[in-house]
Amino acid sequence: MPRAEHAVSRESFSENALKVLYRLHNSGYQAYLVGGCIRDVMLGKEPKDFDVTTDATPEQIKGLFRNCRLIGRRFRLAHIVFGREIIEVATFRGHHETSQDTESKVSKQSDHGQLLRDNVFGSIEEDAQRRDFTINAMYYNIADFSIRDFAGGMQAIKDKKIALIGDPDTRYKEDPVRMLRAIRFAVKLNMTISQETAEPIKRMAPLMANIPPARLFEEVLKLLLSGQGLDTYKLLSEYHLFEPLFPQLAPLLKQPESRENRFVEQVLTNTDNRINTGQRVTPAFIFAAFMWYPLEERCEQLMAEGGLNHFDAFNLALNDVLNRQIQRIMIPKRFSIPIRDIWQLQNRLPKRYGRRAYQLLEHPKFRAAYDFLLLRGQIEGGKLLELAEWWTDFQEADENQRKNMLNILREKEGGAPKRARRKRKKPKASS
């Protein structure tokens, strides 16, 4: 499609992306913008990520840009760094070898058909066939500002359909994460997944177990922190993709009206509202929420089977549940530590006597733990909701009101629990 036949303008693209395109073009290489940025402009959305594809090899790209770093083992990529913005540049991909020879240096497949290494370069036509969805196989040519649509992406946008390029079974086996991407694009773009693309997902969902936990962390953030997390969760559940991600939680969500399901949906609703109004969110809160009821269940199991007190059982359960989840989705320490804080504060927030209430207010994770408690109270009601409302009032009260609240609490509870004093042993008389 020549420039006169489409509405995609350079003004929609990042200045840094254009710099990369022009340097490649002026150095004698083909250079195209590809994928989501073209799709988003055609849908009237503001593009955020700008991916470039070229016939230059990663080493040739690195030779052109001092601010370039090469990354990736599965497929070699160049990242051109402009401060906080990174322009990703990929060499045209070719058809991978069908051999499963483990010694192959350019292409390697697992026994399940998953591509483990794929450094096979080719032409732009081959590259288009290797793209995942038809809406992502449109290329903007910086040489003449034309668009090349290899797989009917324009028609897919008009039909509002998410469709894989090639045989769905084969493409999902090559990379099971494509099933998650189908869900994400369907929700994000308000489209439906075509019948051929959707049909294999439920039966192939177990292949998600083959994806490294570290890779799934980034994918889950894209799914749940998109501002449309609730709709994404419902579609993941419909296609049986939620269970491979959160295997401890999924069995507790079978009843739509269960407290566990209502809790998850409310967490995602609140998160969507915060994202869509420009407020800050942290993945730690969502992960803490998704593992809370498995934690409670495991704690009760340890108390019943091992005769442990609640404190010991809770701490053992905390480690068990977190370690099991990390086997599926690798949670970095910068998030796993706040998750632990949020959970442990749930046991400390009921203990408000004396200076404890003031000390808890000063805890760095108090606000997150309070929000978590309030959410639990709204779902479960009863004493939990009363406790959450008490903390709401305590935060808003002045110093005299706070003292009065603590006095009322002490009288209501019959006085603060006293610690048993340990008797000091008398020193033995020296002989």
Q: What is the C-alpha to C-alpha distance for residues 393 and 306, in angstroms, rounded to an integer?
A: 39
Instruction: Please state, in angstroms and rounded to a whole number, the distance separating the CA atoms of residues 14 and 125.
Output: 25
Taking alpha carbons only, the member of 284, 318, 312 closest to residue 298 is 318
The position carrying tokens 């040519």 is 141
Running DSSP on this structure, what letter comes out for residue 65?
A: -
Pair type for strands 115-118 and 107-109? antiparallel
Residue 359 dihedral angles phi and psi, to the nearest 5°: -65, -40
The tokens describing 4, both together, are 């006169």
Q: Are 369 and 349 within 8 A, CB to CB?
A: yes
Burial of 59 (0-12, 13-18, 19+ CB in 10 A): exposed
Reading the block at residue 400, the tokens are 């005299």
Query: How many other CB atoms are there within 10 angstroms of residue 265's CB atom?
Result: 17
- In the chain, the amino acid numbered 113 is G
CA-nearest of 159, 162, 209 to 183 is: 162
Record the tokens describing residue 329, joined without a space.
Answer: 């989705």
Please classify residue 266 by burial: count the beta carbons closer than 10 Å to its beta carbon, then call 0-12 exposed, 13-18 middle and 19+ buried: middle
Q: What's the distance, CA 181 to chain centroid?
A: 12
Sheet containing strand 147-149, edge to edge, reads: 68-71, 77-82, 85-91, 51-54, 31-34, 138-141, 147-149
- The residues assigned a catalytic role are 49, 51, 132
Return phi, psi of residue 295, to 5°. -65, -45
Residue 292, judged by CB atoms within 10 A of its CB (0-12, 13-18, 19+), counts as buried
Beta strands in 5-127, from DSSP E residues, in sequence order: 31-34, 51-54, 68-71, 77-82, 85-91, 107-109, 115-118
